[in-house]
């Protein structure tokens, strides 16, 4: 059960809870599409503390809270908070949790969300901690796959792009490995999946490192494409060497299976050409919109109203 718990790492969520989230997210998706007005979280307050840029994550969390009848107080950037004056994470989270019923935090420091959860008097949701994890993104990613295929096991999944700094894939590979999926890791040499992430996965025999995208184009069911994260590089010469390493255009997509899907946590740069957007296999905007319903479900379950 998720009631009263923080969600910092994908390992904080049991497999049974993942499927309960799916069921509730589907219910909310239907209700919102019918225009139903919900009031399950009337009187509840969410504090969103974003010390790193965000569009989809912040807006979808805030939209989720509003759609459930709750309200939001927010810090949208570090310079507008007392962090710019030197306030510690511990003091910030003590303050924010005293004002709210649940806290969502994004921070550039890996491990910041776990630290925050130790000082908070209310549940903390990790909206991304540096190159660490992004667990609610992973659950919405799994939900999108589940909606498409009716299952999240027994699939061939290719993770493509920045696997070193991409926190979304760090969470996703751990979740996918629970369900006996074949996982292909496709990245430039300097952006391979960190060993500390792989070492925590039991079913490593199902994971393959591949350098050539063509090797899996006609075999994979899911292509999870990630942006090369310029802001994480110390040496811009290294960034210049890898930008544009993998790119999906219509010619690339034409060699994929008709039943395959393309996903992306967004924002994108040049790794998916906009001409692909109209292809039926492009699900990244559906994926983004699913974030609201999945986060509605997570918030409701943690706050104990469902």
Min mean pLDDT across 227-231, 294-298, 300-304 is at 227-231
Q: Interhelix angle for 56-67 vs 284-302, to 10°?
A: 50
Enumerate the H helices of 68-134 as residue ranges: 89-99, 112-119
**How many Cβ atoms from other residues are within 10 Å of residue 53's Cβ?**
14
Alpha-carbon gap, residue 161 to 151, rounded angstroms: 25
85 is catalytic: yes
Q: Which residue segments constitute the domains of the chain, with CATH numbers given?
A: 10-131+290-302 (3.40.50.1370), 135-287 (3.40.50.1370)
SS3 2: coil
306 is catalytic: no
Structure tokens given for 24: 């509730």
Question: Would you say residue 84 has pLDDT above 60?
Answer: no
pTM: 0.92
Catalytic pick among 31, 56, 232, 281: 56
226 is catalytic: no
Alpha-carbon gap, residue 285 to 291, rounded angstroms: 10
pLDDT digits (tens, 9 = 90+) for 179-221: 989 999 998 888 889 998 998 887 788 999 988 899 999 999 9
Alpha-carbon gap, residue 295 to 37, rounded angstroms: 17
Contact 5, 120 (CB under 8 A): no
Alpha-carbon gap, residue 48 to 151, rounded angstroms: 32
Residues 6+ apart with CB under 8 A from 180: 153, 154, 203, 206
57 is catalytic: yes
Catalytic pick among 107, 134, 148, 167: 134
Catalytic pick among 79, 85, 196, 202: 85
pLDDT digits (tens, 9 = 90+) for 222-253: 999 998 866 666 667 666 666 667 889 999 99
pLDDT interval class at 80 (50, 70, 90)? very low
CA distances from 197 to 201, 263, 290 (A): 7, 21, 26
**How many Cβ atoms from other residues are within 10 Å of residue 33's Cβ?**
9
Catalytic pick among 29, 44, 67, 106: 106
Catalytic pick among 57, 136, 144, 252: 57
The angle formed by the CA atoms of residues 174, 120 and 68, to the nearest 5 degrees, is: 75
């Amino acid at each position: 059960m998720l009631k009263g718990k923080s969600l910092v790492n994908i390992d904080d969520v049991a497999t049974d809870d993942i499927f309960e989230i799916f069921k509730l997210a589907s219910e909310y998706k239907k209700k919102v599409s019918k225009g139903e007005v919900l009031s399950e979280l009337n009187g509840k307050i969410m504090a969103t503390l974003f010390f790193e840029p965000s569009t989809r994550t912040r807006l979808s969390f805030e939209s989720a809270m509003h759609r459930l009848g709750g309200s939001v107080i927010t810090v949208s950037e570090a310079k507008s908070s007392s962090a710019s004056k030197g306030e510690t994470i511990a003091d910030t989270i003590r303050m924010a949790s005293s004002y709210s019923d649940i806290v969502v935090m994004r921070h550039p420091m890996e491990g910041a969300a776990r630290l925050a959860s130790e000082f908070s008097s209310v549940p903390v949701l990790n909206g991304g901690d540096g190159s660490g994890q992004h667990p609610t993104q992973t659950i919405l990613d799994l939900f999108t796959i589940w909606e498409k295929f009716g299952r999240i096991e027994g699939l061939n999944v290719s993770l493509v792009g920045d696997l070193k700094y991409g926190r979304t894939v760090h969470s996703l590979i751990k979740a996918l490995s629970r369900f006996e999926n074949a996982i292909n890791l496709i990245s430039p040499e300097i952006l391979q999946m960190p060993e500390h992430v792989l070492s925590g996965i039991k079913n490593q025999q199902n994971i393959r490192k591949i350098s050539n995208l063509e090797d899996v184009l006609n075999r994979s069911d899911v292509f999870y494409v990630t942006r090369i994260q310029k802001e994480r590089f110390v040496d811009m010469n290294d960034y210049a060497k890898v930008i544009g390493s993998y790119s999906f255009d219509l010619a690339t997509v034409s060699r994929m299976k008709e039943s395959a899907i393309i996903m992306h946590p967004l924002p994108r740069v040049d790794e998916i050409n906009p001409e692909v957007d109209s292809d039926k296999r492009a699900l990244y905007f559906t994926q983004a919109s699913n974030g609201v319903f999945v986060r509605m479900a997570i918030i409701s379950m943690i706050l104990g109203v469902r």
